[in-house]
Amino acid sequence: MRAHPDWIVLNRGVNGERSDQIRARFERDVIRNSPAAVVIIAGVNDIYQGRTVEEVTEQLQAMYSRAAEARIPVVAGSIIPFNTATPEQNRRMRQVNDWIRGQPNVAFADTRGAVSAAGNPDALFESPDGLHPTAAGYRRMAEAIAPSIQRVLR
């Protein structure tokens, strides 16, 4: 928000929510506000809780489609890593991220790459708890997202 004071940012993120929970409030928190764009970063809590790739992509697709129906451009961030993820969880996160990257009509932002450790894309470069990025990590995510927002706002 400091980098783009001309943007009005409504942060509707809720820590710990899965994609189905985000989708359940998508109409109220996004569509009814008619934003110029929506940033959707979802799926890490699903994977953490053992949900399948298909469950995550179904929820994401529903949100992407609903936003498109409402003529709200989507910036889609990739699932960020967490340091305690198993190889299987990392595999599923990569599958979801590949799916997100391949979606037409969404602007992809590599938020995973923004917060990953050098030489280890499956770990956070800094984390107070092994699950969440530091303030510097969130800043990196914002820097990765901003160009995509600028593209969809043109």
Tens-place pLDDT, residues 27-41: 999 999 999 999 999
Phi, psi of 49 (to 5 degrees): -90, 5
Q: Is the dihedral of CA 13, 17, 19, 25 positive or negative?
A: negative
Q: What is the DSSP annotation of 10-71?
A: -----TT--HHHHHHTHHHHTGGG--S-EEE---HHHHHTT--HHHHHHHHHHHHHHHHHTT
In terms of pTM, does the model score above 0.85? yes
| Domain residue ranges in the chain | 19-153
Q: In CATH, what class is 19-153?
A: alpha beta
Residue 91: Cβ within 10 Å count = 13
Model pLDDT, residue 58: 98
pLDDT tens string 64-117: 999 999 999 999 999 999 999 999 999 999 999 999 999 999 999 999 999 999
